[in-house]
Structures are given as structure tokens and as C-alpha cells.
Structure 1
């Protein structure tokens, strides 16, 4: 039986985007208003007798104006939040989710025998968008400041939970879920999967599927094996438990550094970043400290953080 053992440190546990220059925003708003007024005045009619096309044009202009105002207000709030949380630059805004999802295959060298029968294993999502994806594992640290920071900065992330460190505070992760974070499977007890039998692996994975569904109301479709280690039985068990994909990572974040899988020691479009729910007991800092370092790295390199599930 083939064993796939991923290397990494897991076992050790810009510019500012703006809605545009104020003058340019003002010109766009003025153009919308002129178009709406011109349509109404040109007809010489008012009230209920005006043609439906004219009413629709006015409504469309008002809607566009409202959307532009909302976008500007959201970005201003993000700028304020970035200053509040000590970020030197405002995080870049990710583009809209792609209408057509990228076609994902298992990364070369990460296959097991009969790989085509099992969920794909990948470290990067194929995309030309200059985005990366933030994923956070385990669940040991439950820092309320982290939840507040991520919500105010509007930074998307995906969680992979192990029940043995989560069960003492399910409400913390329910708050996370309520804020739009997807809670995924990282096994019940974070054991080294290739060292277990197929049935033991299935118990670890399916057991966590059941727990997440019971506690949070939704069965995960994403699974990350502890330490990134797996074999054919792992993927076979994952598939039997309803898992659709196995995202690993191409970079790992700490409070004071980033570690990279690739030879060029850099980020690439679509890279998945791994970090952990950790605090001062394990790191030289807090989870907000880690986010500050991650966002400095990501933003300085011209990347935005996007939602992983939008690309899968």
C-alpha cells in the first residue's frame, strides 16, 4: 500500500484598494444622476404616465448609485479596521467568485494507487486571480479578539477542526460559523492516519463528520489529514464519509515567519496557506499577531485573501 508523507512544519507547530479617487467616484455618480434626470426630462412627462422604460432607467441609476455608495462605505470601514488592528496596509479586496469553478486534480507526486477513485489532494487552486486562501487547523486557541478582528477586517478563512480540542467550547466555533466561516473535518483526535487501520481511519473521519453535523448542523465536504499525512485507506475512508476534496497547503504561517513548500520560497496565485489556532503557549504571540504578519506578507506581494469554497 502506498504511503504519502507530506513534508512541512505542521507537526511543529500595497497598495490600498479603494473605490477610486474621490474625483473619479464623483464623476461616476454625476453621470448616473445626469442619465436619470435626462431620461425623465427628455420625455416631458411625469408621474404614473411616464413610459416604463424611463422609470426603469431611473431605478437602475439609483440602484447603481446605491451599490457604488455601499462599496465605498465598505472599503472605508475596512481602512478604519486595518488601522485599528495595527495593519500597515489595508488588505486588498478579492475579486468576485468565479462563475465557472477551476478544474482541480490531485497534485503530481501526491497520488495514491487508483487515485481517480478518491477525492483530489491539492495544495494550490488553479486560477489566474491574484488570490490566496487562508485555512486554520485544530482549534486549541479560542481567542475572542481573533473572531472580532477577522469579522471587522472581512478576511475570509476556512477552518479544519479536531474535536478533541474543540469540544470544550463549541459555541466559539458556532460564532465563527455564524460569521460565514465553513467548518471542516480534521479528524476526531488528530492521530497519524497511515498508522491506523482502515476502520480506525474511518472512525476518525466519519466520527468527526457526525460531530460537526450534530454541533453545527452541516456535514463537511472538505477534509485535511493531520500533519498532511495519508495513504490510500485515508482517502478511501474519507470518500465513504462524504468527503469531496482534500486541500493541503503550499505555505504555512506563524507569528513571525512564513514557511513555503516550493523551491522559490514565494506565494503563487491560488496557493493555500495553513496556520493554526494557537496562542502564546505555542507561539511568540497571539492569533491577531499571526494575522498581522500573514496580511503584511500577502498584501505586500499584491495578493488578496479569497474564500476557498468559492473556488471549489
Structure 2
């Protein structure tokens, strides 16, 4: 088992002169622009900033948080090419051009990326919470768990959540043939295209398990990346893959689960996670903003 568990306490412009086009006219010199200091932001800017801060604080209070989630920085302009995490490659990874498997994004930004799997629990108030608190996440969906209410995830998508592939039936893929794995992955691509209007480019294999056939099938189905996870969030605790801490660029996993599986709700889980990340100075950023 890779898990290690920690309990979490409830914390210039260059101005070019237009020279005459007459051949006898001497060229006019290029004059540099003069920088003008604009001074401190005006009162309207400060009023807007205070209003945003007040709205964020009010939203946090409504959802039972002492402080709002830390805001993520602007995403990078240049995106780094993703490579497989060392030790997570398969035979022929580079030669076959297979999608990379990784557990985090290389970045100096103090951000993590939230991903939510399966789709069993469909609590409308959770979607409201995530929208009001402006928390980005990616939903990795399994058809067996969402087919009773595709509409719930249309709402999530409309509110800004990217939807990704977690296979049709959540089977242990390495035990399946290539053809069977392709049906699991491509079949879910078809469902996603029909229900949500696009075929995902991200796949998470169930349980984080895969082999060469998985990645070959994924590539044939239009998958570009295979992000798994570095840590997993529960109510009141975190499980870690490698050590006992959170790091810049970590991908965090949690699940669409409710009281039947957790001693609480998804809202409880998010409160726990936000307090944990705030105490360590981390913001939640959108995974897709850091991928090429």
C-alpha cells in the first residue's frame, strides 16, 4: 500500500513616426515613448477590490469557513511539455508516443489541482458551494455512476467544471485485453461526446492502474494526458503517495461521495480540504490552465 495518512485539524512600445513616402524626404528619427507614471490605483480600483474581498468573505461564511480559499495566481503564459513521471513509464512510451502518466504539474506557483472521481453522489448544494467559492476542479466520470442523472454533470460543466474520462464500468484495466480496454475508454468517450458535447483529452484509469495496452488504447481514443494523483482528500484527513506533505503542483484526488460512504458530505470534505490548504498557503488552480 502506498498510502500514508495524516489527520487534519478543523485549519516600447516603440513609437514609429510616419516618414514621408516621397523619395527625397529624409527619414525622420524614431522617438522613444515617454513613460508616464500613473501613480497609485484610483479610488474606484480600491472600491472594487474591497467589494471583491467582501464578497469572498461572505461566501466563505455562508459555507461554514472562517476564511475564503486562497485565490490562485494567473496561469502561466508558457506551458511546459508534460513528460511521464519517472517510474510511471511503460515499455515503448516514447517510441510509441503514448500519453504521459503524471501525479503533478511542474510549477513554482503555490497551487494544487483538485480532481473528483466517479460521480455517484450528486448533491446540488455542492455545485453551488464550488461556484460561490470559485474553486476549480476536474470531474473524472464513470458511466455506471452518472447514467442515472447525466444532467447533474451538465450543470457542473455549465458552471465551469471540465469533464474527463474515468471509463465506462470502472474495471481494473490491466486485467483486460487491449480490445476490452479500448471499449472501456472509447465507449466512455462516445458517452461524453453525446451527453456533454465533446470528447475528453484526459483519462484517469480506475484505481490509477494501467499498462501499455491502456495507454495505447487511450491514445487511439483521443486521450492526450493520463493524470493520476499525488494525494487524496477525505473528511478530516489526507492520504499521501510519497511523503507527509503537500507540494506545489500536486494533483489531489477525491470522490463524489456522500453520507453512505463518508461520515459526512462532500461539503464537509471541501471545508476540511480548504482549511488544510489555507493553513499551508496553497491555492487550488485549474488543471487545464497548466497543460499545453
TM-score, normalised by the number of residues in structure 2? 0.84
- Which of the numbers 207, 210, 218 marks the counterpart of 1:227? 207
Q: Cα RMSD (Å) of the superposition?
A: 1.9
Query: 1: CA distance between counterparts of 2:114 and 2:285?
Result: 8
Query: 2: CA distance between counterparts of 1:159 and 1:66?
Result: 38
Secondary structure at 1:230 match in 2: coil
- Which of the numbers 63, 73, 80 marks the counterpart of 1:102? 80
Aligned to 1:244: 224
Secondary structure at 1:160 match in 2: strand
- Which of the numbers 254, 260, 263 marks the counterpart of 1:275? 254
Aligned to 1:26: none
Secondary structure at 1:171 match in 2: helix
Aligned to 2:275: 296
- Which of the numbers 198, 218, 221 marks the counterpart of 2:178? 198
Query: 1: CA distance between counterparts of 2:118 and 2:44?
Result: 41
Query: 2: CA distance between counterparts of 1:122 and 1:105?
Result: 8
- 5 Å-filtered alignment, 1:65-104, equals 69-104=47-82
Aligned to 1:266: 245
Per-residue deviation, 1:76: 1.9
Aligned to 2:21: none
Query: 2: CA distance between counterparts of 1:178 and 1:121?
Result: 28
Query: 1: CA distance between counterparts of 2:62 and 2:196?
Result: 31
TM-score, normalised by the number of residues in structure 1? 0.78
Query: 1: CA distance between counterparts of 2:65 and 2:125?
Result: 15
**Unaligned stretches of 5+ residues in structure 2:** 5-35
Aligned to 1:175: 155
C-alpha spacing 1:127/1:290, structure 2 compared with 1 (3 Å): same
Over residues 80-109 of structure 1, what are the superposed CA-to-partner deviations in whole Å (9 max), with x where a residue is unaligned? 111111112221100011100123210111
Contact 1:103 1:126 in 2 (8 A): no
- Which of the numbers 265, 289, 292 marks the counterpart of 1:310? 289
- Tell whether 2:106 aligns with 1:133: no
Q: Kindly tell me the number of residue pairs found equivalent between the two proteins.
A: 256
Per-residue deviation, 1:218: 1.1
Instruction: Specify which structure has the higher proportion of helix.
Output: 1
Aligned to 1:115: 93
Query: 2: CA distance between counterparts of 1:66 and 1:212?
Result: 44
